[in-house]
């Protein structure tokens, strides 16, 4: 895995500041500590930081084609590069290296923009084609690897793997986008293609971008999307066998590396399934790692240990200090923009642990989105049944009223916490799902934001992120929310978290459950083979029964939780008061002082659980202080 940067003069061939390019490149040293390289020519500069994984002795970047006409800077892994190499050799191309980088170079020369459709893997890259005077950027189909870009006032176009690289450029606009603030407090992250800054963007997953020198205007183009078109149901047992067969192949092609390789093992279904298949493909014990928590409510270590023992893995486990909040100040620097998923803390620690053993790990990310593992999918389908029972004219006012009058019982048993459910049922399907996943609900954001920020928003609401995808979203209620999560939550939250946390330790994470061929096939499965009654990932669990014990497969989902609520009433009580009620947030003029006081006092008194809201504000305040 690597870090890439680039500067391109759209209007002409002015000299590129090599020192600036170097600063941009070195800001991502952590992504590729093994080697660094720069290429400059009139009107163009590429930079690259390398983490060597395959063909360690060659493959240096930026890489030039043998005729010198094409230059590439690339981050990622293309797993089908041996097959593509054979195809390109048959077309007359000769190779100097044994790495996938050179394959992308000649794939561009052979097939142009359509080359990206042939690549199977995770990637973000920039290609400069001198004869065509063309810059081409591409990002993988699911968004495993990031790519940021901006057009500057001097006619330059810049890009990089992380926002921090772009921030090295003195002309980068750093005006906060108020709609990104609304998105952030709605989702807990800033969904693609926005960033926190106006005029600075992320290339969306499954998109490419072509810019020709001297031509005005450019627009990213989508080259891939997942289609939820259910195939014939067939035999569930046969479908389960095919799922395992397809996943095994996706795992196998991700086990190729010239450096030590292993896997995350949380004790959940997805990572345990990946490890089980790895063990069947490996002659040597699989290196596995997991972290444990002192609090049994958050601790899955015993389940990870069961899998490790069953498959005789070389297992490493370390316990995280229950007061491990020392990373809070580092997170804003790691993510470069507001990011409110608190599981970034344990993710950082498990990547730190993995790096002590290996340079490449396989993870189980993507199983929940593709095979309906999240609890919220179950709740959404339940709410959809309720919506279907009553006409909109009766349902919406009835349940909206119930949602307003029903008390918010954070302290009560779950069966009595019906307020959010009532509020969701009182909305249409997409708005109801947005309400269920929001960090701060519409009502809370309305109270949090000042009149000044509301004026700047001009009526914009974060649900517009979902509305963008409404035309492409499938009709089935479960498939619809899976599609929305694949377009937003997966890339914006889950994969962002893993990329920054792993690359902070120069660790490459490969994601077999996000192999695009596997994703395309899983999208054709009937929804009731994914969510069957109350059982999420139904087909996957049934298919894994020969490989894993039932107490791994059918226990309640835990996830990488962090005890924020207790932290904010205990050791971080003063920190919360200082951050939320201090000068940094106040000076923006965007927040209502009285509501900030309400959040702090109600949470710290124990009357309400506002831990998610407070965490999002803590991370926003840290971003403002450090930006």
Just list the catalytic residues. Answer: 2
Closest CA to 568 of 608, 604, 620, 596: 604
Helix axes 477-487, 429-437, angle to 10 degrees: 50
Tokens 């709740």, residue located: 379
CA angle (561, 563, 618) in 5-degree steps: 100
Let me know: does 564 contact 583? Beta carbons within 8 Å.
no
How many CB atoms sit inside 10 A of residue 86's CB?
9
From the DSSP assignment, how many helices (H) and strands (E) are in the chain?
29, 17
Count CB-CB contacts under 10 A for residue 246. 16
Closest to 263 measured CA to CA, from 279, 252, 275, 248 = 275
For residue 62, say if its preceding peptide bond is cis, omega within 30 degrees of 0: yes
Counting other chains too, the contacts that 81-87 makes at CB distance below 8 Å and 24 or more residues apart are 84/118, 84/119
Using CA atoms in the order 45, 337, 490, 499, what is the torsion angle rounded to 10 degrees?
60
- Give the span between the Cα atoms of 524 and 229, in whole angstroms: 5
Name the burial class of residue 224, with classes exposed (0-12), middle (13-18) and buried (19+) by CB atoms within 10 angstroms of its CB.
middle
CA nearest 49: which of 80, 24, 77, 16?
A: 24
**Dihedral pair phi/psi, residue 355, rounded to 5°:** -65, -20
Contact 351, 503 (CB under 8 A): no
Query: Which conformational region is residue 167 in: left (phi greater than 0), alpha (psi within -120 to 50 degrees), or beta?
Result: alpha
379: exposed, middle or buried (Cβ count in 10 Å: 0-12, 13-18, 19+) = middle
Cross-sheet strand order for the sheet of 121-129: 63-64, 70-78, 121-129, 134-139, 207-212, 221-222
146: tokens are 């990031």
Please state, in angstroms and rounded to a whole number, the distance separating the CA atoms of residues 340 and 185: 9
Cα within 13 Å of Cα(490), Cβ side: 28
User: What distance in Å separates the CA atoms of residue 361 and residue 98, rounded to the nearest whole number?
Assistant: 21
CB 332 within 8 A of CB 305: no
| DSSP H/E element including 377 | helix 375-389
């Amino acid at each position: 895995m690597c870090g890439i940067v680039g500067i391109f003069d759209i209007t002409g061939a002015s000299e590129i500041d090599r020192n600036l390019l170097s600063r941009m490149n070195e800001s991502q040293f952590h992504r590729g500590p093994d080697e660094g390289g720069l290429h400059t020519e009139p009107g163009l500069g590429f930079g690259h930081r390398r983490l060597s994984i395959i063909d360690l002795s060659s493959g240096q970047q930026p890489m030039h084609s043998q005729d010198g006409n094409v230059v590439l800077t690339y981050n990622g892994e293309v797993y089908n590069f041996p097959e593509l190499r054979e195809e390109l050799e048959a077309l007359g191309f000769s190779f100097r290296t044994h790495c996938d980088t050179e394959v992308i170079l000649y794939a561009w020369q052979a097939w142009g923009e359509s080359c990206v459709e042939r690549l199977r893997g995770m990637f973000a890259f920039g290609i400069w084609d001198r004869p065509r005077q063309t810059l081409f950027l591409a990002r993988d189909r699911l968004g495993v690897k990031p790519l940021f870009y901006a057009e500057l006032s001097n006619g330059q176009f810049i890009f990089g793997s992380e926002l921090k690289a772009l921030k090295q450029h003195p002309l980068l606009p750093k005006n906060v986008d108020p709609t990104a603030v609304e998105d952030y407090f709605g989702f807990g992250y800033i969904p693609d293609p926005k960033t926190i800054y106006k005029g600075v963007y992320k290339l969306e997953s499954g998109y490419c971008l072509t810019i020709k020198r001297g031509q005005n205007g450019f627009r990213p183009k989508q080259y891939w999307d997942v289609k939820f078109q259910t195939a014939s149901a067939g035999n569930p047992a046969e479908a389960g066998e095919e799922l395992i067969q397809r996943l095994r192949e996706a795992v196998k092609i991700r086990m190729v590396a010239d450096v030590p390789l292993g896997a995350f093992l949380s004790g959940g279904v997805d990572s345990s399934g990946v490890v089980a298949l790895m063990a069947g493909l490996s002659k040597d014990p699989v290196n596995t790692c997991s972290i444990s928590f002192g609090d049994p409510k958050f601790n899955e270590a015993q389940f990870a240990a069961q899998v490790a023992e069953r498959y005789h893995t070389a297992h490493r486990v370390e316990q995280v200090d229950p007061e491990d909040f020392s990373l809070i100040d580092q997170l804003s620097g790691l993510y470069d923009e507001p990011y409110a998923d608190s599981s970034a803390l344990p993710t950082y620690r498990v990547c730190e642990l993995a790096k002590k053993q290996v340079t490449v790990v396989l993870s189980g990310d993507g199983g929940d989105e593709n095979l309906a593992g999240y609890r919220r999918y179950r709740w959404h389908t339940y709410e959809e049944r309720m919506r279907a029972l009553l006409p909109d004219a009766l349902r919406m006012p009835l349940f909206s009223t119930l949602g307003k009058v029903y008390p918010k019982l954070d302290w009560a048993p779950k069966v009595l916490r019906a307020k959010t459910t009532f509020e969701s049922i009182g909305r249409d399907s997409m708005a109801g799902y947005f309400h269920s996943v929001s960090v701060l609900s519409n009502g809370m954001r309305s109270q949090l934001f000042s009149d000044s920020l509301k004026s700047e928003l001009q009526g914009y609401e974060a649900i517009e992120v979902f509305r963008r995808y409404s035309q492409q979203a499938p009709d089935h209620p479960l498939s619809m929310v899976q599609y929305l999560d694949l377009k937003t939550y997966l890339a914006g939250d889950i994969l962002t978290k893993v990329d920054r946390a792993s690359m902070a330790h120069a660790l490459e994470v490969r994601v077999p459950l996000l192999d695009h061929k596997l994703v395309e096939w899983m999208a054709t499965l009937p929804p009731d083979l994914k969510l069957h009654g109350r059982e999420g990932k139904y087909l996957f669990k049934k298919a894994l029964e020969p490989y894993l014990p039932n107490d791994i497969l059918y226990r309640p989902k835990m996830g990488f939780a962090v005890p924020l609520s207790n932290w904010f009433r205990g050791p971080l009580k003063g920190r919360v008061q200082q951050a939320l009620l201090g000068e940094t947030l106040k000076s923006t003029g965007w927040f209502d002082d009285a509501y900030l006081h309400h959040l702090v006092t109600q949470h710290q008194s124990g009357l309400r659980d506002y831990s998610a809201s407070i965490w999002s504000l803590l991370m926003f305040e840290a971003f403002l202080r450090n930006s």
